[in-house]
Structure 1
Amino acid sequence: MFNRKLEDFVNKSLFDIFPNQREAIEEYLKINRKIIETGIGRQYEMTFDIDNKPQTFLINDQAVKDSEGKGIYVVSSSIEITERKLFEQRLKESEEKFRNIAEQSLMGIFIIQDDVIKYANKRMAEINGYSLEEILNWQPKEHYKTLSPESLAFVEEQGRIQELGNSDISSQYPLQIIRKTGEKMWVENFSKIITYEGKPANFITLSDITDRKELDQKLKESEDKYHLLFNNSPIGIGLSTIEGQIIEFNEAIRELTGYTKEELNQLGIPTIYSDQNERVKAVKILREVGYLRDHELKFKRKDGTEFYGSLSLDLVEMNGLEIIQSTLKDITDKKEVELELRKLNNLKSELLRRTSHELKTPLVSIKGFSDLLLEVHRDKLDYYVISTIDEIKQGCLRLEALISDILKTAELESGVIKLVKSREDLSFLIRLCVNEVRGFSDLRNHSLELEIPENLELNFEKEQIHQVINNLINNAIKYTPKNGKIQIKSQIQNEKVLISVKDNGIGLSLNEKSQLFKQFGKIERFGQGLDVIPDGSGLGLYISKKIVELHGGEIWVESEGKNKGSTFYFTLPLHEN
């Protein structure tokens, strides 16, 4: 044990045997003297450096006494326990590491043995809402009070299965616990059988998953609502693959088409399209844009009858796959009404066109003869007759303008008008329009201000946009009292050219602004004592709106109210789409 021969110990002092261990030997002798004095034996550990190698011994010293009970000498026995001490040291370090990790862990950790909690960390106490002292003093199975009734039943069932020796038990599962405050929360429970202090024990960790469970619950509720809406929606809803394989559709789709899911998967989705190429076109738009909205098409039922449907498509992700979500509404009644209204509108437009042409014929005669009387026979007529004929001629001009507007309106409403665009200088056209109304403006003593670039080229139909600009400037002149100010500006905004015509005239109310761009939406100003020229058909702004929209632009008006002026705006695309 000491790596020495027996003769090395005979008649030798400990200082001779272990010359380098003076301090340890002195301590050992000190203990021995104490034992002799008291007569009381002692068991203790000491470490000696044997041949430069530390060795630990468990020493048992007992006093040998004389007849009077006094200690005479000490009988000493020792066992080397170096390996055991190293093991104990490693075990202690391991336990310290475990405790350090456990105490800093975000998970609740505890050890149960014989239904009693033998160890619990701080996080475990925080999760349950009890103090560590309370938890470690619980009676056997008292920790069950922290489980909800449903979770308790599950845990007890797991225990029964384990007692029967069945290894088919869950080691990880969610539990609902009841905190000391009565608050309920969800935890993820992980358990493992370990050996603790020489006996089997349950090593258990708890993680707070309340937020996740609430999210799962909301997701489930959302899915339940979706399926409720999906199955009960009066609008047809379906899910399919890009290739056309149907995943699911609701009862409304079946009622609309007459097909079952199996039948459509066998025949293919294009079967329900009157023109089967339309499905290819719809999917192409969906891939390019990402969605399709209210695409109106003809569909065919299983019995061969057709119906108009409004189709919307969205790309959604399901289990990592791109899925098409389709909605289909039957709009047959709406389309039939639209077609009937279109027919009536075309009939109205045709009636207006024919009536206007019929009115034009006698109007040309009246105007022609009025000109003849004034030019050829003026010297034979007195002042009264000339004034009367002038009034007839002016009436003809007004009626001619009205007929022209009606014909233009009918043409725009017919939907057959085709724009003939060309590359034009919009700045030049604006200056031309200003020059054309310069005389009219001077009569009203208005100032006309221009803020436009030297050149502004884009594609538009010159005659049509000329009519829009001319109409807006004329209106500004007419509805601004004398000595007014009119500003015409242009600027580029978001790939569009913005034109504005601003005046400091009589302004508009909110209700008047909403009326302006309708057919015959003229605001009546006659007899109100305003210094304005209130003539006009009430079709000019309606025509302007239609022309601008045909060009892909917008038109609107802004005004702060009565007598606060107005600004009319319209836009044109800077580039062709």
Structure 2
Amino acid sequence: MAYTSEENYNPEDYLKDTLNKLDIGFVKVSNDDIILNHNLTFNKIFGYNHEKDLFGTKNLDYWLNSEERNKFREVLFKNGIVKKYITPAKKLDGEMIFLQITFKLNKNSKGEIISSEGIFIDVSERIKTEQKLKESEEKYRVFMETAKLEDLKASLYEKDLLARIFMDNISGFVVLLRPSTREIIAMNNYAKDMGGIPGLTCYSTIGQSENPCPWCLSPKLWKTGEAQHLVVDALDVTWDTYWNPISDNLYLHYGFDVTDQAKREKNLKELNQIKSQLLRRASHELKTPLVSIKGFTDLLLKLKTEEFQSKSLPIVQEIKDGCSRLELLVNDIILASKLESSQIILSKSLENVSELIFSAVKVLKGFSHARKQKILFDLHEEMFTMLDKDRIQEVLTNIISNAIKYTPKNGTIKLKSKTSKGYFVIMIEDNGIGFTSEEEKNIFTQFGKIERYGQGFDVVSEGSGLGLYIAKKILTKHKGAFG
């Protein structure tokens, strides 16, 4: 599908069209685990004709076993999201495959779960390769323990035998190297096909003439004997490579062609960029009418208040307040998408962080007073550093606002500072409700808001769920961090 003008551009069609071009499955299911929607890649992965509509079928039918599916749903409904979950599944013809799944719950405005949806990719080849490698490494360990080939001064026959015992049938290159010279002691057929020759060095045979070759670029290993894992590009291929010291005189080096996986990850990044563009575009489209509605509402309240009936005035005020909340959400979405796509450029100047903290507290003074909270200070008088004043002010306002929201009425909030290894450390302590270790993992993600609505806590649960995500992005651009 092509989009040639603004008039025939439809964000939903564009996103669906993009998903169907990628080897990424998409599925949406009801609370009863019935499929509500899916894309063409879903059919492709599970072996169905692309014209087959699987709407209304049971999601359980595609899991290899119900126990694994129940375990997955338990994690999903506990955390609200599951990322990169590896599980076996079954195709239409009964063949077992492995999927990597990312799923999330969908909620309505009341916080009720109405459905769940997510994406998945087929990682069967990767899982099979890893299993084969583990089996091969175990064979090698047993061989070395029984053969006790400590000095490695073995015959060519013994070297070839060593390669056949634990290296063949691996869909990647495996090489035994002598660390002092990089001489190839033994290798599998995959490495031989790449040009490797036993008795010669890896950098002079496997398609490379320079010294060392890309696969020898493992400084930790060669200098300290420490194992290393790197993803490198060589010979127009992306390799997932590993170096492991077996003994002082023997290193095991193996790698796998992950070019297709790297392309899929690139496609996922592009999809993420499309998502950000869609959010940004939709947000801008929402912002224009919001500004108009809010402006006319302000005008009505200013010029026509006396003409409203007593029952009408609160309704108009509620419209204004609703517009203000939506405007904040739209602004957060636009800023988050800009940060995600690195469109924000910092304008740094020398500023006193202490003054920015006091300014943020002053802005929130009415909020904290309304909740009858005390804010205590133990700050350095001067904390000068180079920063973007407006952005850091936004970060400080956000985290102090969160402390006020999630600290019960009559609570106490303490703002402290210290220096550590050339950094200023700002600490915020409160006697709020806190959060679990699982919640801690999600609070800096997009829409990773901690839900406390209806749980009996005296806290304020309103918010877009983007505040801390934005704050972390801004702090990271300043080479700072949350601790």
**By how many angstroms is 1:451 displaced?**
1.4
Give 1:181's aligned residue. Answer: none
1:247 equivalent to 2:184? Answer: yes
1:518 equivalent to 2:445? Answer: yes
State the Cα deviation string for residues 239-271 of structure 1 (Å, max 9, x = none): 66899964345216516x622327986984684
1:543 equivalent to 2:470? Answer: yes
Unaligned runs of 5+ in 2: 1-143, 153-158
One of 264, 267, 273 as aligned partner of 1:346 = 273
Identical-residue share of aligned pairs (%): 36
One of 508, 519, 543 as aligned partner of 2:435 = 508
Give 2:299's aligned residue. Answer: 372
Superposition map of 1:468-483 within 5 A? 468-483=395-410
Q: 1:295 to 1:367 in 2, by over 3 A?
A: same
What secondary structure sits across from 1:350 in the alignment?
Answer: helix
One of 212, 222, 240 as aligned partner of 1:310 = 240
One of 137, 148, 172 as aligned partner of 1:220 = 148
Q: Relative to structure 2, which stretch is displaced further, 337-346 or 286-295?
A: 286-295
State the Cα deviation string for residues 49-102 of structure 1 (Å, max 9, x = none): xxxxxxxxxxxxxxxxxxxxxxxxxxxxxxxxxxxxxxxxxxxxxxxxxxxxxx
User: Is 2:221–2:228's contact at 8 Å kept on the other side of the alignment?
Assistant: no
Give 1:530's aligned residue. Answer: 457
**By how many angstroms is 1:409 displaced?**
2.0
**How far apart are the structure 2 equivalents of 1:531 and 1:514?**
23
Superposition map of 1:350-499 within 5 A? 350-499=277-426
Letter in 1 for 2:380: P
Superposition map of 1:88-237 within 5 A? 220=148, 231=167, 236-237=173-174
User: Is 2:336–2:470's contact at 8 Å kept on the other side of the alignment?
Assistant: yes
Letter in 2 for 1:258: M
What secondary structure sits across from 1:535 in the alignment?
Answer: coil
User: Is 2:220–2:228's contact at 8 Å kept on the other side of the alignment?
Assistant: no
**How far apart are the structure 2 equivalents of 1:482 and 1:386?**
30
**How far apart are the structure 1 equivalents of 2:350 and 2:265?**
36
For the aligned residue pairs, the C-alpha RMSD in angstroms reads 4.1
**By how many angstroms is 1:551 displaced?**
3.6
**How far apart are the structure 1 equivalents of 2:145 and 2:455?**
68
What secondary structure sits across from 1:383 in the alignment?
Answer: coil
Letter in 2 for 1:251: N
User: Is 1:521–1:539's contact at 8 Å kept on the other side of the alignment?
Assistant: yes
Q: 1:416 to 1:364 in 2, by over 3 A?
A: closer
**By how many angstroms is 1:471 displaced?**
1.1
Q: Relative to structure 2, which stretch is displaced further, 537-546 or 243-252?
A: 243-252
Give 2:89's aligned residue. Answer: none
Q: Relative to structure 2, which stretch is displaced further, 399-408 or 457-466?
A: 457-466
**By how many angstroms is 1:528 displaced?**
3.6
**How far apart are the structure 2 equivalents of 1:265 and 1:217?**
26
**By how many angstroms is 1:519 displaced?**
2.1
State the Cα deviation string for residues 164-190 of structure 1 (Å, max 9, x = none): xxxxxxxxxxxxxxxxxxxxxxxxxxx
**By how many angstroms is 1:328 displaced?**
2.8
Letter in 2 for 1:499: I
What secondary structure sits across from 1:261 in the alignment?
Answer: coil
**How far apart are the structure 2 equivalents of 1:425 and 1:288?**
45
Give 2:101's aligned residue. Answer: none
Letter in 2 for 1:309: W
One of 231, 237, 249 as aligned partner of 1:296 = 231
Give 1:335's aligned residue. Answer: 262
User: Is 1:423–1:457's contact at 8 Å kept on the other side of the alignment?
Assistant: yes
**How far apart are the structure 2 equivalents of 1:415 and 1:440?**
33
**By how many angstroms is 1:537 displaced?**
0.9
**By how many angstroms is 1:327 displaced?**
4.2
Q: 1:504 to 1:296 in 2, by over 3 A?
A: same
**By how many angstroms is 1:486 displaced?**
0.4
State the Cα deviation string for residues 314-351 of structure 1 (Å, max 9, x = none): 899967xxx98754332223212211211211111111
**How far apart are the structure 1 equivalents of 2:299 and 2:451?**
35
Letter in 2 for 1:250: M
Unaligned runs of 5+ in 1: 1-215, 301-305, 556-569, 571-577
Q: 1:521 to 1:280 in 2, by over 3 A?
A: closer
**How far apart are the structure 1 equivalents of 2:479 and 2:312?**
51
Letter in 2 for 1:254: A
User: Is 1:270–1:279's contact at 8 Å kept on the other side of the alignment?
Assistant: no
**How far apart are the structure 1 equivalents of 2:216 and 2:366?**
56
**How far apart are the structure 1 equivalents of 2:455 and 2:298?**
34
1:260 equivalent to 2:217? Answer: no
**How far apart are the structure 2 equivalents of 1:415 and 1:289?**
38
Q: 1:472 to 1:284 in 2, by over 3 A?
A: same
TM-score, normalised via structure 2 length: 0.57
**How far apart are the structure 1 equivalents of 2:205 and 2:184?**
12
**How far apart are the structure 2 equivalents of 1:411 and 1:402?**
14
Letter in 2 for 1:247: I
User: Is 2:356–2:393's contact at 8 Å kept on the other side of the alignment?
Assistant: yes
Q: 1:447 to 1:399 in 2, by over 3 A?
A: same
Q: 1:242 to 1:461 in 2, by over 3 A?
A: farther
Aligned pair count reads 330
User: Is 1:244–1:268's contact at 8 Å kept on the other side of the alignment?
Assistant: no
Q: 1:371 to 1:282 in 2, by over 3 A?
A: farther
Give 1:169's aligned residue. Answer: none
User: Is 1:244–1:269's contact at 8 Å kept on the other side of the alignment?
Assistant: no
**How far apart are the structure 2 equivalents of 1:417 and 1:315?**
45
User: Is 2:371–2:409's contact at 8 Å kept on the other side of the alignment?
Assistant: yes
What secondary structure sits across from 1:310 in the alignment?
Answer: strand
State the Cα deviation string for residues 108-165 of structure 1 (Å, max 9, x = none): xxxxxxxxxxxxxxxxxxxxxxxxxxxxxxxxxxxxxxxxxxxxxxxxxxxxxxxxxx
**How far apart are the structure 2 equivalents of 1:534 and 1:329?**
48
Q: 1:239 to 1:422 in 2, by over 3 A?
A: farther
Q: Give the structure, 1 or 2, with the largest relative contact order (CA under 8 Å, sep 6 or more).
A: 2
User: Is 1:230–1:237's contact at 8 Å kept on the other side of the alignment?
Assistant: no
